[in-house]
Structure 1
Amino acid sequence: MKKSVFSLIFIALLLLYGCNQKTNRPSAEQINELNLKRGQLILCGSPSMQLGTAEFKTSCSQKTKGDFDLAIKLLHSFEYDEAEKAFAKVIDQDPQCVMGYWGIAMANFHPLWTPPTEEELQKGARAIQVARSLETSEREADYLEAIGSFYQDWQKVDHQTRCLRFEKGMENVYKKYPDDKEAAVFYALALDAAATPDDQSFSKQKKAGDILQALYPGQPNHPGIVHYLIHTYDYPELAQQGLSAARKYASIAPSSAHALHMPSHIFTRLGLWNECIESNLASVSAAQCYAQAAGIKGHWDEELHGLDYLVYAYLQKGDNASAKKQWDYLKTITEVQPVNFKVAYAFAAIPSRYVLENKRWAEAASLQVTPVDFPWENFPWQAAIIHFTRSLGSAHIGNLAAARTELTQLDTLRQRLTEKKDTYKANQVAIQITIAEAWLSLKEGNNRKALMLMQQAADREDKMQKHPVTPGEVLPARELLGDMLLQLGKPTEALAAYETDLQKHPKRLNALYGAGLAAKAVGAAQKANAYFSQWTNGTGHAP
């Protein structure tokens, strides 16, 4: 009798306090509130689903293993929408699978891209909340807390601080589970995500590279290892180390449009224009296929991202006909999903590159960008590219009033970015302002001021890295410094400027031509012939 009483008391206590303990199964309402993407997976890069090889051990139901590993491979190739679909299927099969919710949070984080939207942050935070109510292993709880630290207080804490939290969380997982190769891969990704553009030592990237290089021999077909090696080495000083991965990635994951595009980051850094073109032609085609198969109204953002790199490569080969063909095609695009920073950048940069690289100053001064109803007010950095192009064009044709009007617009955009505490982009626009002021000063006959401003812009730009979304600055400041020095009859200084620029931007067509002219002017015939030869091999044309 006494035993029965104690049993009843124990049961009562469980009922009383159980609601405060971890539950065994989330409610249907909790799962529905996540608004998970569901449906058939859509991949277009190759006839069959080829995404490489990756395996992630979990405590989830064995029946979810195939879908979970597929979701991981999609995640590693930044196919975030499709990854979320795959993780949603895992949750449908096993609602108690903590790592399924972890996957949802990771798919809405997308490190190395633009920060998540408010909707994505809310979804990721809710997924973490549901997962924390479930029983799981210590290892999986550690993974969950790593990504959970990124979503914690997202309304109050800035993106960079939260990326640093994720880095620290994944470092803990990496050190605690040294045999967990996926922990090493995701820690390398976290290091790259937490790196800042002003770190010229590349300390985090080099650490990530060491980790990934150690993993690569044992997992040569792992999409994350090869993909993150490309991102890790996407810098002029490191790019050569990423060439092997760049030439491998597309063959590992040909079903991913992003995997088809991503090698071109390294090809662009090294001036391998033919490979860059091939890479982006394949990626654009896959992106077009994806948009049609997914029922996207209009075009997919990944297509425009590929077009930007494609046009840049054509211009560096002097293939204006192909570049113009892509720009004309861009003009027919009026609707893109999703509307984001990549789309805005392509709409602004592609036409600006074409007129500026070809020194079509009158066209640059009057450049009109389509679509006209695009929400440019949401993208001040990208909108600044258009005003920069107009200002530089106006200055060159002597319309100084128009150039100053565009300068005023640039300064307004810089102030908006400063107010938003987007320091990197504000600094990028500040460099554009200095460049435009330099060429205005030159037109006004103040050569000394012009050179001083142009030197300042070049020095400042040298201390910054390009944004990952772009193949390069619309016009490199140091190349423009070379142009100005050459115009002012200072070929020795111009040659030094061009050669410094070519170290950071190998095989840029205009820099090669300028270097050839400068070398010829100083009597360095052999050097001049070498630069002109490179320029000719790129099928260059005198700008």
Structure 2
Amino acid sequence: MEINLPISAVLGLMLLILSCNSKKGQPSGNDIQALHLKQGELISCGPPDKEFGQVNFDISCSPGLRKEFDLAVSLLHSFEYDEAEKVFSRIIDRQPDCAMAYWGVAMSSFHQLWEPPSKADLEKGAKAIEIALSIPQKTKPESEYINALALFYKDWKQVGHRTRSLNYQQAMARIHRDNPGSREAAVFYALALVANADPSDKTFTNQKAAGKILTALYPGEPDHPGVIHYIIHAYDYPELAEMALPAARKYAATAPSSAHAQHMPAHIFTRLGLWEECIRSSIASTAAAKCYGENAGIKGHWDEELHGMDYLVYAYLQKRENSPAKSQCDYLNNIQDVYPVNFKTAYAFAAIPSRYVLENRLWKEAAALKIHPAGFPWQKFPWQSAVFHFTRILGDVHTGHIDTAESELKILKAIYDTLTNQGDQYKATQVLIQVKTGEAWIALKEGRKQEAVRLMTQAADLEDNTEKHPVTPGAVLPARELLGDLYLELDQPDKALQAYESDLKIHPGRFNGMNGAVQARALLNDRVKTAK
């Protein structure tokens, strides 16, 4: 049976078919809406032209989006995750079938060097990478990047964070191996190596491998934010820090619009005891972070501001500039609301006031230190809350309140058990160091001298065998420095000097370490004179 349709109907049908074909592989509006993408104008508190370094990332999406994509990746490399997601969102608005834009959204939820992503981040990242996988219009390299990241999000409800992170690292290793000319493959692989480094590996296998890749790239990419940034992270260790000094002095100028880029050099300046440079860097970073928080409409204070304050107070204390350090403590004490509520803000709230009283030997104030803010969800951050109890123990011991110190020690041991049961061995070890330190000083005050030395030595050895968390400039008081203090109390200046000098190799320029060494040498010299 022959059906004759009007020419207008035929044309309409043809247009419908063409329209359907043109949308093949394009995500639905509902799928995109379900991502709840961050949107809005890019916020920065640096130069007006928004300088975040130079990145050139080949993508198959519209040529008109290339500049936007490079900007988004530059933001990723400086851990400006919210702002990066905004730019990737703009790309999706303009070209919904740009697969790599969804990869970028998923990368913005990854946060490799931070704590594991939240449930909300994992849900968003998994949805974004699923969309990226479903889009057929992508090149082989793009598919490889997307497939690699998909391994991190795959089965995230059943498979642990570290296993999924290692799966991603292995996939990036293959991409780097198969694409030796790809700078971005090299940079992202290096980041994965650093992120998955074992904190107990004193040979720094991953870090050195990453550093080798990045330093080879550096001469040809002097303004690449990822190359410079990740060199700092790769070499953020006492034994390696000197190799990152050129990058540390370069990064802030390379990405002046990034608050995190202003902060990162402080890591290396702290490692090398370059306090003036650390102070300048930290003042710049906290000012930029405060500016960002205000412009972003954040209720309270942005986490990067508090993170920078911790490094700033630490540096002030090493120069014995107590007045500006106290001003920062007072400022912190007036902060109630932060965004986001996370491991960084929790650590800063605990460490900053603890550093001030402990470094200055204000034992009465240390014993009375209050947990602030009272309304903060401290139950979610046992490692950070342990800092308060550790500070109180040392305060109680030095003010003669041994019973109170014992009560605080019980709380510290309970926190250690909690972290052990959670399978967080690194943080459990950090708290164990504090437990043994508390036990050592209680033993000393009770006259159990040999026991005190044994316990404090164990604490120092444990700390020597692990590395600090990237969130902190260092322990609130280094264990081996405290061992030196204990030997001084026992009138053993020779052993005290040995402990101080050993610790200063790891923590150069620490005021109390240097002062303790001076005291120990003076006692030894007096004995030599007396012996004559």
| TM bin (shorter chain) | over 0.9
Q: C-alpha separation between the residues in 2 aligned to 1:405 and 1:178? A: 58
Q: C-alpha separation between the residues in 2 aligned to 1:152 and 1:23? A: 25
Letter in 1 for 2:163: T
What per-residue deviation string (whole Å, max 9, x for no partner) do you get for residues 325-378 of structure 1? 000000111111111000000000000000000111111011013211111111
Out of 147-156 and 449-458, give the one that drifted further: 147-156
Following superposition, the deviation at residue 498 of structure 1 comes to: 0.4
Q: Which residue of 373, 385, 404 maps to 1:371? A: 373
- 3-state SS in 2 of match to 1:523: helix
Kept in 2, the 8 Å contact 1:45–1:260? The answer is no
- 3-state SS in 2 of match to 1:166: helix
Q: C-alpha separation between the residues in 2 aligned to 1:265 and 1:426? A: 23
Kept in 2, the 8 Å contact 1:257–1:287? The answer is yes
Kept in 2, the 8 Å contact 1:519–1:525? The answer is no
Which residue of 2 is the match for residue 217 of structure 1? Answer: 219
Which residue of 2 is the match for residue 510 of structure 1? Answer: 512
Following superposition, the deviation at residue 163 of structure 1 comes to: 1.5
1:216 and 1:525, CA in 2 relative to 1: closer, same or farther beyond 3 A?
farther
1:94 matched to 2:113? The reply is no
Q: C-alpha separation between the residues in 1 aligned to 2:54 and 2:483? A: 47
- 3-state SS in 1 of match to 2:436: helix
Which residue of 2 is the match for residue 12 of structure 1? Answer: none
Which residue of 2 is the match for residue 317 of structure 1? Answer: 319
Which residue of 2 is the match for residue 540 of structure 1? Answer: none
**Which 4+ residue blocks in structure 1 deviate beyond 6 angstroms?**
none
Which residue of 2 is the match for residue 346 of structure 1? Answer: 348
Following superposition, the deviation at residue 524 of structure 1 comes to: 9.2
How many residue pairs were aligned? 508
Letter in 1 for 2:264: M
TM-score, scaled relative to structure 1: 0.92
Which residue of 2 is the match for residue 381 of structure 1? Answer: 383
Following superposition of structure 1 onto structure 2, how do residues 255-270 of structure 1 map, counting pairs within 5 Å?
A: 255-270=257-272
Which residue of 2 is the match for residue 75 of structure 1? Answer: 76
Following superposition of structure 1 onto structure 2, how do residues 94-133 of structure 1 map, counting pairs within 5 Å?
A: 94-133=95-134
Letter in 2 for 1:173: I
- 3-state SS in 1 of match to 2:525: coil
- 3-state SS in 2 of match to 1:522: helix
1:445 and 1:44, CA in 2 relative to 1: closer, same or farther beyond 3 A?
same
Following superposition, the deviation at residue 525 of structure 1 comes to: 11
Following superposition, the deviation at residue 47 of structure 1 comes to: 3.4
Kept in 2, the 8 Å contact 1:351–1:369? The answer is no
1:466 matched to 2:437? The reply is no
Following superposition, the deviation at residue 486 of structure 1 comes to: 1.1
Q: C-alpha separation between the residues in 2 aligned to 1:490 and 1:112? A: 42
Instruction: Give the unaligned 5+ runs of structure 1.
Output: 1-14, 527-543
1:525 and 1:311, CA in 2 relative to 1: closer, same or farther beyond 3 A?
farther
Q: CA RMSD in A?
A: 1.6
Following superposition, the deviation at residue 23 of structure 1 comes to: 4.5
- 3-state SS in 1 of match to 2:47: coil
Instruction: Give the unaligned 5+ runs of structure 2.
Output: 1-16
Kept in 2, the 8 Å contact 1:23–1:133? The answer is no
Q: C-alpha separation between the residues in 1 aligned to 2:414 and 2:454? A: 23
Q: C-alpha separation between the residues in 1 aligned to 2:85 and 2:222? A: 25
Which residue of 2 is the match for residue 48 of structure 1? Answer: 49
What per-residue deviation string (whole Å, max 9, x for no partner) do you get for residues 165-205 of structure 1? 11111111111111111111111111101111011110111
1:422 matched to 2:427? The reply is no
Q: C-alpha separation between the residues in 2 aligned to 1:147 and 1:333? A: 37
Q: C-alpha separation between the residues in 1 aligned to 2:396 and 2:48? A: 49
Q: C-alpha separation between the residues in 2 aligned to 1:367 and 1:46? A: 41
Q: C-alpha separation between the residues in 1 aligned to 2:364 and 2:166? A: 46
Kept in 2, the 8 Å contact 1:236–1:505? The answer is yes
Following superposition, the deviation at residue 159 of structure 1 comes to: 1.5
What per-residue deviation string (whole Å, max 9, x for no partner) do you get for residues 233-273 of structure 1? 00000000000000000000010000000000000000000
Following superposition, the deviation at residue 45 of structure 1 comes to: 2.8
Q: C-alpha separation between the residues in 1 aligned to 2:106 and 2:308? A: 27
Letter in 2 for 1:30: D
1:491 matched to 2:481? The reply is no
1:26 matched to 2:27? The reply is yes
Out of 72-81 and 144-153, give the one that drifted further: 144-153
Which residue of 2 is the match for residue 246 of structure 1? Answer: 248
Which residue of 2 is the match for residue 533 of structure 1? Answer: none
Following superposition, the deviation at residue 279 of structure 1 comes to: 0.4
Following superposition, the deviation at residue 521 of structure 1 comes to: 1.8
Q: C-alpha separation between the residues in 2 aligned to 1:442 and 1:80? A: 48
Q: C-alpha separation between the residues in 1 aligned to 2:75 and 2:348? A: 25
- 3-state SS in 1 of match to 2:75: helix
TM-score, scaled relative to structure 2: 0.94
What per-residue deviation string (whole Å, max 9, x for no partner) do you get for residues 406-458 of structure 1? 00111111111111111110111111000000000000000010000000000
Kept in 2, the 8 Å contact 1:45–1:283? The answer is no
Q: C-alpha separation between the residues in 1 aligned to 2:24 and 2:156? A: 26
